[in-house]
A and B are shown apart, each in its own frame.
Chain A
């Protein structure tokens, strides 16, 4: 089984994502989806960095000829899922921010009115 710098980088990023999952729980952010993505992607990266030949098995399961194809398919799918999650999250945050803006302007005005009285 041959290891390279790529394995090392994958291992570091994987551990970083696992640590992020731990921090999400530790700080009680209650962001379950973020926790799930961090732990899932982190564990996956640690797994493939320690067992680089695992993708040959994945390629066989997916019916692909080469493990490179399997890596491409799995990474693309993971990327799509991540982008969809992030876009969803951005939209939700923007919505909340916009409503907060509305709320703040109304409250600020009420405060000014009471100060004037």
Chain B
């Protein structure tokens, strides 16, 4: 099985190097999709041996992962491991995710079983649980952490799974995959809240978050 890791990155120069090193031990190739960073993310990623795809302008993590998926599909990889560049995802868990992916289409690293979810702020916990229950009910799928970005996909699934959202993509993608009948499994992984870099959850994101989620869910239900 040929495996590629896709690491979406935006201003992650402090952590991207160690994430690449940790991830490279478990996959055939590491691809960093730089979402038009202002810092040295691109240079550091290249220095650590990663293939770097550079966006011409910033689109958001959803757009960055889509570029990575496209690379994986065009280069005929079998599996795609998705890892955040901020160091929140432990590359040491990748073998367990890959092992589970041998007999399913998508594996999500869940913070629910490991108890990591309890370390998150109350608002995010409530949001994650609410969205997870919504997706589980609408997609008729058993998931406990729908917003986790630490995932493994079978590339054949990604070919027919084109999420439109450039920012909060996970809900739309998971719901669309579930409605397509994809086999989605979870593996318990510890994932503490990020300590380095800027979170994608800024004030304006927090305000717009509920509307974007409604948009993502409605889009999946109406158009797919």
User: For B209, what are the chain A residues with a Cβ–Cβ distance below 8 Å?
Assistant: none
* Interface check A98, CB cutoff 8 A: yes
User: Interface-forming stretch among B46-54, B111-119, B132-140?
Assistant: B46-54
Cβ–Cβ contact A101 & B70, under 8 A: no
User: For A109, what are the chain B residues with a Cβ–Cβ distance below 8 Å?
Assistant: 51-54, 71
User: For A98, what are the chain B residues with a Cβ–Cβ distance below 8 Å?
Assistant: 59, 63, 166
Give chain B nearest CB distance to A102 CB in angstroms: 5
Cβ–Cβ contact A102 & B70, under 8 A: yes
> Which residue in chain B gives the minimum CB-CB distance to A104?
B56
How many Å lie between the Cα of A108 and that of B54 in the bound state?
8
User: For A100, what are the chain B residues with a Cβ–Cβ distance below 8 Å?
Assistant: 56
Give chain A nearest CB distance to B217 CB in angstroms: 17
* Interface check A106, CB cutoff 8 A: yes
Which of A95, A98, A105, A109 counts the most chain B CB atoms within 10 A?
A105
> Which residue in chain B gives the minimum CB-CB distance to A110?
B74
> Which residue in chain A gives the minimum CB-CB distance to B162?
A99
Cβ–Cβ contact B164 & A105, under 8 A: no
Cβ–Cβ contact A106 & B67, under 8 A: yes
User: For B67, what are the chain A residues with a Cβ–Cβ distance below 8 Å?
Assistant: 101-102, 105-106
Give chain A nearest CB distance to B10 CB in angstroms: 13
Give chain A nearest CB distance to B63 CB in angstroms: 5
How many Å lie between the Cα of A102 and that of B71 in the bound state?
10
Cβ–Cβ contact B56 & A106, under 8 A: no
Interface of A toward B, CB cutoff 8 Å: 95, 98, 100-102, 104-106, 108-109
> Can you list the 3 inter-chain pairs with the closest CB atoms, starting with the nearest?
A105-B53, A102-B67, A104-B56
| Extra contacts besides A98-B63, A105-B53, A105-B56 (19): CB < 8 Å | A95-B164, A100-B56, A101-B55, A101-B56, A101-B57, A102-B66, A102-B70, A105-B33, A105-B54, A105-B55, A106-B53, A106-B67, A106-B71, A106-B74, A108-B54, A109-B51, A109-B53, A109-B54, A109-B71
- What are 24 sample pairs from A and B whose C-beta atoms fall under 8 A apart? A95-B164, A98-B59, A98-B63, A98-B166, A100-B56, A101-B57, A101-B59, A101-B63, A101-B67, A102-B55, A102-B63, A102-B66, A102-B70, A105-B33, A105-B53, A105-B54, A105-B55, A105-B56, A105-B67, A106-B67, A106-B70, A108-B53, A108-B54, A109-B54
